[in-house]
């Protein structure tokens, strides 16, 4: 096949780049310069980045910003956010300042249970399998003791193992459903190692069990893997204040604002088309902090959206109430995070971000991340129900448009001043640039 290459991973970095450039690019030297432009000048640091994944050719940069003034449980934080989208850091900062003056954010970790499963098939009656499982349940824990001893020493480990019958959904299909406490580690490697040991124990013990016939002894393990759906690894964050205290520069009528805000949240609670965009805004804040702290934002996204659908319909992750003159806005969300292991001890900017957050435990990081999501959502819904989303968003996007047209520093200065009193749209910016240049 054209452009097919064998053994690409075995090539040196320079050989990989040479092949890519000569195969896919017309201006080879310009493309080569771009690739090298993003290399780190510190060879040791660049080698570290090269070894994070396979087949690296360069670094892909995202801005690392900071949203200050987050008052969380009476402690102040400056929150690191790695994200490319205009207005996210600004919106988070604005929300943080708004609530700083109204008591700040209150949070609590509800639970920290994580889940893994061994998926297998068994050709026999569930009653026989259940008797077998109960007779060897303690063996699973004993066999995994070499894996769990360090985690147990710190207070974590295996919490429970259950046998789950799924044969009404798929013929002969069962699970070992295990729960874990992994403390400050996200725990993926720990959980997967335990699960693979459970699978080995299951197969070994089945061959020795007198209660099975020869066919039943042949248990087939399909796979052993942790789940990124963690409905019992929950954190809650909230803000609350008297309705009158909502009055601010852009909220002239606090009662009207509170009513419209609550209606907007109620719509996201019953309308999936709105809920998806509503929750996407929440994840703008959450993903940015998760990425800045070296955690797996894809796992967090998958688990969060599954949680939003847990009742059979996709719902808002945030909720709002108005009772006895008190406005309250909150989020309850599953977050499996870690502050040790993985990139947390390798990536220099991850270490920087964690130190900026006062080197939090996993439980503390869960609370900070949940607050970032709540703050982002408050800013978005506040804009939607007052000025409209585009006014603030497009003003933040202005610089991107100016950079697309390679505006000079002087042009940027004049156009930023111009759009302080004019509506920012792409066409309006293009027209203003052309007028300025003509």
As annotated, the active-site residues are 85, 280, 296, 393
Q: How far apart are CA 150 and CA 138, in angstroms?
A: 19
Tokens of 136: 């060897």
Residues 373, 91 contacting (CB under 8 angstroms): no
**405 Cα distance to chain centroid:** 33
Q: How far apart are CA 308 and CA 244, in angstroms?
A: 32
Q: How far apart are CA 398 and CA 404, in angstroms?
A: 10
Which residues 6+ apart lie within 8 Å of 434 measured at CB?
Answer: none
Q: How far apart are CA 191 and CA 67, in angstroms?
A: 34
Residue 401: C-alpha distances to residues 170, 396, 417, 432 (Å): 53, 10, 15, 11
Which of 314, 321, 242, 238 is CA-nearest to residue 271? 314
Q: Contacts for 138-144 with beta carbons within 8 Å, 24 or more apart?
A: 139/201, 139/205, 140/176, 140/197, 140/198, 140/201, 140/202, 143/197, 143/198, 143/200, 143/201, 144/194, 144/197, 144/198, 144/201
Which of 64, 111, 82, 67 is CA-nearest to residue 371? 67
Element (H or E) spanning 403, and its range? helix 389-404
Which of 366, 362, 280, 357 is CA-nearest to residue 68? 357
Burial classification of residue 412, based on how many CB atoms lie within 10 Å of its CB (0-12 exposed, 13-18 middle, 19 or more buried): middle
Question: Whose structure tokens read 């929300």?
Answer: 95
Number of helices and strands in the chain (H, E): 15, 10
Residues 246, 286 contacting (CB under 8 angstroms): no
* E strand spans, 172-258: 173-181, 220-227, 234-242
Q: How far apart are CA 230 and CA 255, in angstroms?
A: 37
């Amino acid at each position: 096949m054209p452009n097919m290459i064998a053994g690409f991973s075995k090539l040196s970095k320079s050989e990989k780049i040479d092949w890519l450039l000569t195969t896919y690019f017309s201006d080879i030297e310009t493309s080569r310069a771009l690739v090298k432009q993003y290399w780190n000048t510190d060879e040791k640091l660049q080698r570290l980045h090269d070894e994070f994944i396979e087949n690296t050719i360069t670094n892909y940069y995202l801005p690392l910003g900071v949203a200050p003034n987050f008052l969380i449980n009476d402690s102040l934080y400056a929150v690191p956010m790695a994200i490319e989208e205009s207005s996210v850091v600004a919106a988070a900062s604005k929300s943080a300042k708004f609530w700083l003056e109204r008591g700040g954010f209150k949070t609590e970790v509800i639970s920290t249970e994580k889940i893994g499963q061994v998926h297998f098939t068994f050709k026999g009656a569930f009653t026989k399998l259940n008797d077998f499982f109960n007779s060897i349940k303690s063996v699973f824990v004993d066999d995994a003791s070499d894996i769990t001893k360090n985690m147990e020493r710190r207070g974590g480990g295996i919490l429970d193992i259950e046998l789950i019958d799924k044969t009404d959904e798929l013929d002969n299909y069962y699970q070992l459903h295990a729960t874990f406490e992994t403390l400050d580690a996200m725990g993926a490697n720990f959980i997967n190692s335990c699960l693979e040991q459970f699978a080995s124990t299951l197969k070994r013990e089945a061959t020795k069990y007198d209660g099975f016939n020869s066919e039943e002894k042949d248990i087939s393990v399909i796979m052993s893997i942790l789940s990124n759906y963690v409905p019992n690894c929950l954190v809650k964050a909230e803000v609350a204040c008297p309705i009158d205290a909502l009055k601010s520069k852009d909220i002239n009528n606090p009662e009207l604002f509170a009513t419209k805000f609550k209606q907007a949240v109620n719509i996201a609670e019953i309308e999936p088309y709105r809920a998806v965009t509503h929750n996407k805004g929440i994840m703008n804040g959450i993903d940015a902090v998760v990425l800045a702290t070296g955690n797996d934002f894809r796992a967090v996204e998958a688990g969060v959206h599954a949680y939003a659908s847990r009742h059979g319909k996709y719902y808002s992750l945030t909720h709002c109430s108005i009772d006895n003159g008190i406005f309250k806005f909150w989020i309850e969300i599953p977050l499996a995070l870690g502050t040790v292991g993985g990139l947390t001890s390798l990536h220099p900017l991850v270490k920087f971000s964690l130190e900026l957050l006062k080197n939090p435990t996993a439980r503390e990081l869960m609370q900070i991340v949940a607050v970032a999501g709540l703050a982002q959502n408050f800013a978005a819904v506040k804009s939607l129900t007052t000025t409209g989303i585009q006014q603030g968003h497009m003003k933040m996007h202005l610089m991107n448009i100016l950079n697309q047209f390679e505006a000079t520093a002087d042009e940027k200065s004049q156009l930023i001043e111009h759009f302080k009193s004019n509506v920012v749209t792409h066409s309006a910016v293009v027209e203003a640039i052309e007028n300025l240049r003509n």
